[in-house]
Amino acid sequence: MGCFFSRRRKLALGGQQQQQQQKQPAGAGQDAAPGEQKAPQYSWDLRAKIDPKDYTFSGLKDETVGRLPGKVAGQQFVIQDCENCKIYIFDHSATITVDDCVNCQIFLGPIKGSVFFRDCKDCKCVVACQQFRTRDCRKLEVFLCCATQPIIESSTGMKFGCFQYYYPELALQFKDAGLSIFNNTWSNIHDFTPGSGENNWGLLPETAVVQDYVPLPSSEELKTVRISTDATKSIIPITRGQRQKSSDESCLAVFFAGDYTTANARKLIDEMTSKGFQLVQTKEVIMKAEDAHRLFQQSASEFTSLLEKGPVVALEFNGDGAVEQCRSTINEVFSGTKIFVSESKASASQDVDNFYNFADMQMGM
């Protein structure tokens, strides 16, 4: 009997296995027979499926919503048809479109490509991006970091200020989005459809405080992000941009690529601004040897070999005595570090014009 039941048991198992194999897709759970090739498996077969709903805010009213660091991770995002909402994207993204939003307060973390506002009105925003564009918008107030020239079209009542924001993950998000904290043309607006009698855009007051425009989030989930809107802690250096300079004396300082370039540049900014000098503009750009000869002239040979290490970071300071103070600070604080700095008030103006004209040409502006 033992043999009988053993036989039935094997037959039963064999039947179950045959049924399971019939249910499985062809090739699933089976090794390729000798001489046969396995079905190819591609990288996109292994990716997690993306639900567009996770990357969309649509049709919301009187709500506070957002995405925490790591939740967008370079994907595209859509914001549309929202009213009286507070919206926070605390992560980097590929592109973002904002359509038909009214009276919203919006924070958008670093955007690798473009952000496009269409048919929006009475919104206050903090935005960091490669490209910024609006169309058919009215009364937008934007604290902006934009690597290229911002563009408005068929838009009125637009106001712009310099991006100022901090949370611990923000610096890495800028890197993930391929954005430099030193390339910010926030005030160099191009209006495709200028009006005949008045400007469609202007600058926010120098005293404008980000938190008065886009308050910190109130929801328990979003409050876990450790935010500061203190200008001195901002990831992006606060620049005067197109505002009128307070003095006819400026100074150019150029840092060359190395392990501490960013830290050194920020240190000089802190030293100079603490003494009352104004940071007008900053730029990070790649230079070649022939560029150095044209821009640094007699000093070029001292810096040419440093250009092979990577992009340079340039800072323009303004104020009476800027050149003397900048040279003194660099000698005291950065002894042993090679830094180009304007030699005199007479040469400094030409230094600034030459460098930033070159940088704009390099960046296609």
CB environment 266-300: b (16+ within 10 A), e (fewer): bebbebbbeeebbbbbbbbbebeeebbeebbeeeb
What CA–CA distance (Å, rounded) separates 266 from 260?
10
What CA–CA distance (Å, rounded) separates 162 from 208?
10
8 A C-beta contact, residue 111 and residue 133: no
What's residue 290's pLDDT? 87
What's residue 111's pLDDT? 98
CB environment 315-342: b (16+ within 10 A), e (fewer): bbbbbeebbebbbebbeeebeeeebbbb
Phi and psi torsions of 342, nearest 5°: -55, 140
What's residue 196's pLDDT? 77
What's residue 4's pLDDT? 38
What CA–CA distance (Å, rounded) separates 140 from 160?
8
State the CB neighbour count (10 A cutoff) for residue 361: 11
What's residue 305's pLDDT? 87
Q: How does pLDDT run across 240-262, given as a tens digit for each residue?
A: 999 999 999 999 999 999 889 99
Phi and psi torsions of 142, nearest 5°: -130, 125
* Angle (nearest 5°) at CA 282 between 276 and 287: 140
What's residue 360's pLDDT? 85
Q: How does pLDDT run across 196-223, given as a tens digit for each residue?
A: 778 999 999 999 999 999 999 999 999 9
Its pTM stands at 0.85
- DSSP secondary structure of 308-340: GG--EEEEEEESTTHHHHHHHHHHHHSTTS-EE
8 A C-beta contact, residue 184 and residue 363: no
What CA–CA distance (Å, rounded) separates 263 from 268?
9
What's residue 163's pLDDT? 98
pLDDT lower than 50: segments of the chain: 1-29
What's residue 27's pLDDT? 46
